[in-house]
Chains A and B, each alone.
Chain A
Amino acid sequence: MIEQLLFYVFAILTCGGAIAVVATQNVVRMAFWLVVSLGSVAALFFLLHADFLGAAQLLIYVGGTVVLLVFGVMLTASGPYTTIKTSPAEGIIGAAVGVMLLMVLVSSIGNVDWIAISGRLPSSPESPSAADATRKAHAEESLVNSGSTKALSEFNANQQQGRTVRQLGLSFLGLRPDRNLKEGGANGLAPGYFLPFEIVSVHLLVVLIGAAYLARAKRRAVSEDRVSLD
């Protein structure tokens, strides 16, 4: 009851914020509505029992990326409140295409039985012999039933309460507490995320250096030009 109410509140805020981002022409207001929308997405993550992800969304997206965007707005504004207007024709065409795309997506969401399909995921933890039975049953229940080991059921209990910090951390170190090793993937090994995690770390370092270089190079060129003009 409460959860449904909260879902509707935050879903409306998310969608309303996103639509307002599209509808406004003023960049600062767009940034404000983006904050509303992304903050509500973080609340939806909390409702989906992904506490760590919600906190990460708040810290990185709302506290980091949007601040960066507002910085961008400030540094690239030629007048007080720059509004670069979209021509009405483009707006109408965009809205029409968007509504059509939304209708396609909504109809496909409504027509697909997602639970049944997800039972056939190749990496799903149940053994192949039990796959037929799980197609009929809900995938969530099957996960609990097939988790014969104590660790797996403990993991499920933790995940139900949104306590995924430890699991996420372990999976970044290449361990999967939610997978039964005997029933795991093709090699009999549960896949972790150690390599992607390392790649992302190096990627972030490269981005740090690259962004600093990109933002800095032009200014140096301008100052050199001035020197040569003098």
Chain B
Amino acid sequence: MHGFFAALTLEDFIARTISSLAKLPVESETLLLIAFLAAAFTHAGLLLGLFGGLPVFYIWLERKVAGRIQDRLGPTRVGGSFGWLQTIADGIKLIQKEDLVPKEADSLVFRMSPYLATIASFAAFMVLPICDGWIAVAAECGAFLILALMSLEVLGIILAGYSSGSKWALFGAMREAAQMVSYEIPMAICALIPLMIAGSLNFQVIGRMQSGGFWNWFILHDPFTFLAFFCYFTVATASVKRAPFDLAEAESELVAGFHTEYSGFRWSIFFLAEYSSMFAVSAVAALLFLGGWHDGLGIDSVLESLFRGTGTGLVDGFSLGSYVVNVFGAVVLITKACLLVFVQIWVRWTLPRLRIDQVMTTCLKYLVPISCFLFLAAVLWPLTLVTMFSRPVIAGPAIGERALSQSTASARDTSERLGAAR
């Protein structure tokens, strides 16, 4: 068990837990296997909870926000006065519905493509860090991998539209494919700007570099990253096919776009995929530009100093302080992502929809050149600063120094913790 799967940090942790509770040597093969399976299932369960739970909340939020923006109340009945059980009630209703397959449809592909879209969207959560060290697969090229995985959703959608055997679905799928494939390019270039500043594709490293105050966040690194964030957010909104770019399912012209022929459970998991990829792109934006799991006000360092050294003796390599800080970090990251999702919902209910040619023009004629310019300018910015002020940043330590001090500090921290525990 090494390589890609060795990155499961929980595996080691659970092995140590079991061994220190039962006083067994860690090297035992079957124990490691049990620990691995337990870690895998725990991770899968947690991720599945996040993957399933957040869309439920977002759908409720969408209806509430839409209602308020249109001067209505939104759902009020199911589950108390805020209607917070509305989504679950809807879900139960949807599962009960008949699973229709049209006569004209290619039944195998028609049945399979919702799963393809959902798997792609769920797989992106695999490499998304929720906090420092809380990541299912700590791949070295995590940022590249998440862009790759999010781009797979389009396949399920094209196949769904094409295999439906309906003109509306086919038009929707064609639009969707053209839109998502085009918007991938500026999205990758915009994501490349903070990645280039960090000099790493690893989300852990990128997150740690933005620790400290909010002035360390990459969005405030230079004027071009500031603009790049807004460019990225626009492109991300388009790539998860939200309004004003939701031409693939434009109700007024295409009935419902690629999922016209779907019903019941398959229809609902398309929505699960859409809302969870909304969270995924927002979390990537928070990680790359908005400081990740750091709150930027120093609350996490206060928490760490409060809980420093408490509960270290319980299990090898575990300390309550870092655990509390991690939980706080996870809350911070999810809050940031939820705020960005709220902005997406807000935009959907306030802006009119573009035409399909305008969507393509926006991407190819405006967003691609803008992102290319921002990338080039972000490359040249430190060089200009070096020639003018003979230092790569205006204030504070340079990124490289910050990364170096962070990595040595964390390494020292871990070794101290392990040394104290041994």
Q: Spell out A's residues near B (CB within 8 Å).
A: 1-3, 26, 28-29, 31-32, 35, 39, 46-47, 49, 51-52, 54-56, 58-59, 62-64, 66-67, 70-71, 73-74, 80-81, 160-166
Contacts and interface: CB of A to CB of B under 8 A. Distances in A.
A54 B170 CA distance: 31
A2 B141 contact: no
A73 B147 CA distance: 25
B4 A80 contact: no
The 4 closest A-B pairs by CB, nearest first: A59-B148, A63-B151, A163-B140, A58-B148
5 contacts: A3-B1, A59-B144, A59-B147, A73-B162, A165-B144
Contacts of A35: 116, 155
Interface of B: 1-7, 33, 36, 104, 106, 108-109, 112-113, 116, 139-141, 144-145, 147-149, 151-152, 154-155, 158-159, 162-163, 165, 170, 174, 177, 181, 184, 201
A47 B155 contact: no
Given A3-B5, A161-B3, A162-B4, A63 B148 contact: yes
Contacts of A162: 3-4, 139-140
A70 B177 contact: yes
Nearest to A42: B148
Which of A31, A55, A67, A164 is most buried by chain B, counting CB atoms within 10 A of its CB? A55
Contact of A32 (B6, B7, B109, B152): B109
A55 B148 contact: yes
A26 B154 CA distance: 21
B155 A70 contact: yes
Contacts of B152: 39, 58, 62-63
Contact of A29 (B5, B108, B148, B170): B108
A157 B162 CA distance: 46
Given A28-B162, A70-B159, A165 B141 contact: yes
Nearest to A163: B140
Contacts of B158: 67, 70
A47 to B, nearest CB: 7
A55 B151 contact: no
Contacts of B151: 58-59, 63-64
Contacts of A66: 155
A215 B38 CA distance: 53
